[in-house]
Amino acid sequence: MDKRQLQTPILDGLKKFDKTAKGYFCVPSHHRGNGADSGLMELFGENVFKYDLTETPLTDDLHDAEGFIKEAECLAAELFGAYRTFFLVNGTTCANEAMIAASVSEGEKILVARNCHKSVLMGLIISGAEPIYIEPEKSLSMATFGSISPDSVKAAFEKNPGIKAFILTNPTYYGICSDLEKIAEICHSYGALLLMDEAHGAHLAFSKSLPKTALESGADMTAQSIHKTLGSMTQSSMLHVNGTLTDMDRVNAALNLVQSTSPSYILMASLDAARRQAVLKGGEMTENLLKISDYIRSGLNAIDGVHCYDGKNDKNIFDFDRTRIVFSIDGMTGFEIADKLLEKYKICTEMADSANVIAVLGHGDTKGDCDRLIQAVKAIASDIPGGASVGFEFPDIPPAALTPRKAFFAKSERVPLSESVGKISAEMIAPYPPGIPMVYPGEIITEDIYEFIAEAVENNRHIHGFSDKTMKTIKIIR
Note the pLDDT tens digit of each residue in 250-260.
Answer: 999 999 999 99
Pure H helices in 28-67: 38-44, 47-50
Cβ-contact 269, 124 below 8 angstroms: no
CA distance 383 to 266: 46
pLDDT bin (cut points 50, 70, 90) of residue 200 is: very high
Please say if the pLDDT value at position 387 is more than 70.
Answer: no
Mean pLDDT confidence for 383-388: 71
Cβ-contact 229, 94 below 8 angstroms: no
pTM equals: 0.96
pLDDT bin (cut points 50, 70, 90) of residue 42 is: very high
CA angle centred on 63, ends 269 and 262, rounded to 5°: 65
**pLDDT computed for residue 434 by the predictor:** 63
Please say if the pLDDT value at position 390 is more than 80.
Answer: no
What integer best gives the mean pLDDT of the chain?
95
CA angle centred on 125, ends 124 and 128, rounded to 5°: 75
Higher pLDDT, 413 or 387: 413
Please say if the pLDDT value at position 284 is more than 80.
Answer: yes
Inter-CA distances, 183 with 107, 131, 147, 254, Å = 24, 18, 11, 25
Mean pLDDT confidence for 218-225: 98
**pLDDT computed for residue 394 by the predictor:** 81
Please say if the pLDDT value at position 102 is more than 90.
Answer: yes
**pLDDT computed for residue 353 by the predictor:** 86
Supply the DSSP string of 150-202, one letter for each residue.
HHHHHHHHHHSTTEEEEEEESS-TT-EE--HHHHHHHHHHTT-EEEEE-TT-G
Mean pLDDT confidence for 316-335: 95
pLDDT, tens only, 71-95? 999 999 999 999 999 999 999 999 9
CA distance 243 to 81: 10
Please say if the pLDDT value at position 392 is more than 80.
Answer: no
pLDDT, tens only, 396-452? 999 999 999 999 999 999 999 999 999 999 999 988 756 678 999 999 999 999 999
**pLDDT computed for residue 386 by the predictor:** 63
Please say if the pLDDT value at position 152 is more than 70.
Answer: yes
CA distance 225 to 91: 7
pLDDT bin (cut points 50, 70, 90) of residue 23 is: very high
**pLDDT computed for residue 187 by the predictor:** 98
CA distance 214 to 211: 9
CA distance 228 to 234: 8
pLDDT, tens only, 106-133? 999 999 999 999 999 999 999 999 999 9
